[in-house]
């Protein structure tokens, strides 16, 4: 069995520092918005390869390379939160997808994309079809993830933490304002597998600055 993190007891999760935690509430009004059409460079296609049950969500490890703000990162894994962890303009989308990256120094950067109800998402269909509870298995066909990555709209960027223990700080967050969509049926299917909410409560901003990078630029 996979050990399940208890989100009803998250106030008992321990952390070593506590001034730069995630998630947070995001809005244009609280951000400094600049044009940055070259913020992201999706260099080598992202593929998901191995799908595993993490107890509260599923995780897809894979490969891919990008430049995030001109620095090289390797895509490590994608996992899911339902409902979303960050709020955007006071709204909490039904899901948030975390693309976890690491650079050569071991520094972490997460590209987060939320999802609202709308058109079905083909990649989520592939994952729901491949998922087997309590296991870690290669997906039958590699799942192309590049098309899920943000290429337009506003990207919020701030320095935060992991949202699960050990809640380590120094994580760079890039959160897309523009959501993906999943169908109501996909969400229902996902929530049947993972009925417990796995969103950490909003954390205090404290002295941090939030940047808003406009990918549309110019
Ligand atoms: Zn996450």
Would you give per-residue pLDDT tens digits along the chain (218 residues)?
Answer: 567 889 999 988 887 778 999 999 999 999 999 999 999 999 999 999 999 999 999 999 999 999 999 999 999 999 999 999 999 999 999 999 999 999 999 999 999 999 999 999 999 999 999 999 999 999 988 899 999 999 999 999 999 999 999 999 999 999 999 999 999 999 999 999 999 999 999 999 999 999 999 999 64
Distance 28 CA to ligand 1 centre (A): 22
List the structure tokens of 53: 């049950």
* 86-120: burial string, b at 16+ Cβ within 10 Å, e else: bbbeeeebbbbbbbbbeeeeeebbbbbbbbeeeee
What's the CATH fold of domain 40-214? Carbonic Anhydrase II (3.10.200)
Instruction: Please answer whether residues 25 and 202 qualify as being in contact, where contact means their C-beta atoms are separated by less than 8 angstroms.
Output: yes
d(CA 24, CA 202): 5
Distance of CA 101 to the CA centre of its chain: 10
pLDDT of residue 120: 98
How do beta strands 95-102 and 108-117 pair?
Answer: antiparallel
Question: Residue 73 and residue 46: Cα distance in Å, rounded?
Answer: 12
| pLDDT in the model for residue 68 | 98
Q: What pLDDT shows up at residue 17?
A: 74
- Residue 99 Cα to ligand 1 midpoint, Å, equals 8
Q: Cα–Cα distance between 8 and 91 in angstroms, integer?
A: 21
Rounded to the nearest whole angstrom, what is the distance from the C-alpha of residue 163 to the centroid of ligand 1? 6
The Å distance, Cα 217 to ligand 1 centre, comes to 28
118 CA distance to ligand 1 middle (Å): 22
Q: What is the pLDDT of residue 1?
A: 54
How far does the centroid of ligand 1 lie from the alpha carbon of residue 218, in Å? 32
Domain ranges of the chain: 40-214
């Amino acid at each position: 069995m996979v050990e399940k993190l208890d989100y009803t007891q998250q106030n008992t999760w321990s952390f070593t520092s506590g001034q730069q935690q995630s998630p947070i509430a995001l809005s244009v009004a609280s951000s400094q918005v600049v044009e940055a059409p070259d913020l992201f460079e999706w260099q080598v296609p992202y593929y998901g390869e191995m799908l595993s049950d993490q107890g509260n969500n599923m995780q897809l490890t894979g490969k891919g390379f990008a430049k995030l703000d001109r620095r090289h990162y390797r895509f490590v894994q994608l996992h899911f939160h339902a409902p979303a962890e960050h709020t955007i303009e006071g709204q909490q989308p039904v899901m948030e997808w975390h693309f976890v990256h690491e650079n050569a120094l071991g520094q972490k950067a997460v590209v987060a994309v939320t999802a609202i109800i709308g058109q079905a998402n083909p990649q989520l269909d592939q994952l729901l079809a491949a998922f087997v509870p309590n296991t870690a298995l290669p997906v039958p066909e590699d799942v192309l993830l590049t098309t899920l990555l943000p290429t337009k709209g506003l990207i919020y960027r701030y320095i935060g933490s992991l949202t699960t223990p050990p809640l380590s700080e120094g994580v760079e967050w890039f959160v897309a304002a523009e959501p993906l969509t999943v169908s109501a049926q996909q969400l229902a299917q996902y929530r049947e597998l993972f009925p417990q909410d796995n969103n950490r409560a909003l954390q205090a901003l404290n002295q941090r600055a939030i940047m808003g990078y406009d990918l549309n630029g110019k």
